């Protein structure tokens, strides 16, 4: 059970320059991380790890292209770990052959089985719930209780989402296939598409903003965005305009996804890398993640932040995320078949 909050070609050159400037420099005792996660989200944990172990953590950050870089570098890659969000992205790294299996009693003890790869190629670091938010003014509290409700004809023209091709949406759609089968999931997705107030666009925060401005009444977002908006002076009013719904509490529970990590296939500092992985799953590092990022600790012995706890407790879907991976290609094709993105 989780506890949750209720409050309040120029681009290519730029990326290349960023990577060149931040490429890890060889050190006597180090671990090198390629990360899709922004540095400010993970640096405090890395700094503490270095203080406790003396092992330096060097980081390369990029918005895209790191898996391709690992493929290009091959056996000569300096990278030890890759950090990314969404189980689909982690699976893509595994499929590209740039990861290796890790066997660790510490990781197995700290990270529930549904949030790690059964073959040890990826491990969750934090959780996020894929929640529904509804207008406080235009949707009675308690009226919507499940993802399935979103396909009801009564919500025609009232729902906003980001692109159905985005990994966060793809994972949710894959979970619907896992629970209902392809035929029923396609019917549900068609109903959801018919209920859209506008063509899918923007990020998750943009959906909440659209509700606050009256463009739609209902949206699907990741839970941590609520924390980000509630602590942002300019966006607080967006968050204040909606109620949080943790879907499917009377049956399977709310869909969850992860931010996670994988050990690279060519890791030159494997022992140090595994130490960092284990440290990041520890109570101390998990508590730091929870306070800074408004995400749920993957380590179940650690409490979410006070803000996140204020959203209330909820049951999560225990479906192993590895099962979502099996359906993500089908989910992507289904988005095209129903014309979800318009």
- pLDDT band (50, 70, 90) for residue 37: confident
**Which CA distances in Å does 164 have to 73, 154, 191, 244?**
32, 21, 13, 21
Comparing 44 with 16, which gets the higher pLDDT?
44
**Which CA distances in Å does 103 have to 24, 77, 301?**
26, 22, 21
The residues, ordered by sequence, that sit 6+ positions from 179 with a Cβ below 8 Å of its Cβ are 252, 319
- pLDDT band (50, 70, 90) for residue 22: very low
The answer, yes or no, to whether residue 30 has pLDDT greater than 70, is: yes
Indicate the burial class of 7 (C-beta count within 10 angstroms; 0-12, 13-18, 19 or more): middle
End-to-end CA distance of the chain: 37
| pLDDT at site 39 | 77
Query: β-strand 123-135 against 81-85: which pairing, if any?
Result: unpaired
**Which CA distances in Å does 10 have to 14, 17, 95?**
6, 11, 29
Of 315, 279, 275, 308, give the one whose Cα is nearest residue 291: 308
| pLDDT at site 68 | 96
For range 156-174, the mean pLDDT: 97
| pLDDT at site 10 | 40
For range 67-86, the mean pLDDT: 96
Query: β-strand 256-264 against 312-314: which pairing, if any?
Result: unpaired
pTM: 0.88
How many residues make up the chain in this entry?
342
| pLDDT at site 38 | 79
Give residue for tokens 């070609």: 9
The token pair at 218 is 């209902």
Comparing 13 with 232, which gets the higher pLDDT?
232
Of 62, 72, 65, 68, give the one whose Cα is nearest residue 35: 62
Comparing 286 with 25, which gets the higher pLDDT?
286
H-type alpha helices, the chain: 10-22, 39-53, 66-73, 87-95, 105-110, 167-180, 182-194, 204-212, 223-230, 236-240, 270-280, 283-293, 306-309, 321-337
Contact of 179 with 254, CB cutoff 8 Å: no
- Give the gyration radius of the chain's Cα atoms: 20
Summarize pLDDT for 181-198 with one digit per residue, the tens. Answer: 999 999 999 999 999 999
Compute the distance between CA of residue 232 and CA of residue 224 in angstroms, rounded to an integer: 13
Query: β-strand 81-85 against 256-264: which pairing, if any?
Result: antiparallel
Whole-number percent of the chain with pLDDT over 70: 92
| pLDDT at site 16 | 40
| pLDDT at site 28 | 57
- pLDDT band (50, 70, 90) for residue 27: very low
| pLDDT at site 153 | 98
Contact of 48 with 95, CB cutoff 8 Å: no
The residues, ordered by sequence, that sit 6+ positions from 214 with a Cβ below 8 Å of its Cβ are none
Indicate the burial class of 12 (C-beta count within 10 angstroms; 0-12, 13-18, 19 or more): exposed
Compute the distance between CA of residue 169 and CA of residue 162 in angstroms, rounded to an integer: 8
Of 58, 7, 3, give the one whose Cα is nearest residue 243: 7
Summarize pLDDT for 288-315 with one digit per residue, the tens. Answer: 989 988 999 999 999 999 999 999 999 9
Average pLDDT of every residue of the chain: 92
Comparing 133 with 41, which gets the higher pLDDT?
133
| pLDDT at site 165 | 96
- Domains (range + CATH), the chain: 2-127+257-302 (3.40.190.10), 128-254+321-337 (3.40.190.10)
């Amino acid at each position: 059970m989780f506890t949750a909050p209720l409050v309040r070609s120029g681009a290519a050159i730029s990326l290349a320059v960023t990577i060149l400037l931040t490429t890890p420099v060889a050190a006597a005792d180090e671990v090198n991380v390629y990360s899709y996660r922004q540095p400010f989200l993970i640096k405090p944990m890395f700094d503490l790890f270095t203080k406790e172990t003396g092992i330096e953590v060097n980081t390369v950050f990029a918005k895209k292209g790191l898996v391709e870089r690992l493929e290009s570098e091959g056996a000569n890659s300096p990278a030890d770990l890759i950090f990314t969000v969404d189980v689909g992205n982690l699976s893509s790294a595994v499929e590209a052959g740039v990861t290796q299996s890790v066997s660790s009693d510490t990781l197995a003890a700290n990270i529930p089985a549904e949030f790690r790869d059964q073959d040890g190629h990826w491990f969750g670091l934090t959780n996020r719930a894929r929640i529904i938010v509804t207008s406080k003014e235009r949707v009675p509290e308690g009226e919507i209780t499940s993802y399935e409700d979103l396909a009801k004809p009564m919500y025609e023209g009232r729902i906003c989402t980001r692109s159905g091709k985005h990994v966060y949406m793809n994972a949710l759609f894959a979970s619907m296939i896992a629970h209902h089968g392809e035929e029923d999931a396609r019917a549900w997705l068609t109903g959801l598409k018919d209920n859209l107030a506008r063509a899918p666009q923007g990020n998750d925060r943009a959906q909440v903003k659209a509700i606050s401005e009256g463009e739609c009444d209902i949206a699907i977002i990741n839970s941590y965005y609520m924390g980000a908006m509630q602590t942002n002076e300019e966006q607080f009013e967006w968050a204040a305009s909606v109620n949080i719904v943790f879907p499917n509490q009377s049956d399977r529970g709310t869909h969850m996804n992860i931010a996670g990590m994988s050990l690279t296939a060519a890791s030159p500092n494997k022992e140090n890398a595994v130490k960092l992985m284990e440290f990041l799953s520890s109570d101390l590092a998990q508590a730091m993640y929870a306070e800074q990022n408004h995400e749920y600790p993957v380590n179940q012995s650690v409490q979410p932040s006070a803000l996140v706890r204020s959203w209330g407790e909820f049951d999560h879907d225990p479906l192993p995320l590895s099962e979502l991976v099996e359906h993500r290609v089908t989910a992507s094709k289904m988005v095209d078949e129903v014309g979800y993105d318009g």
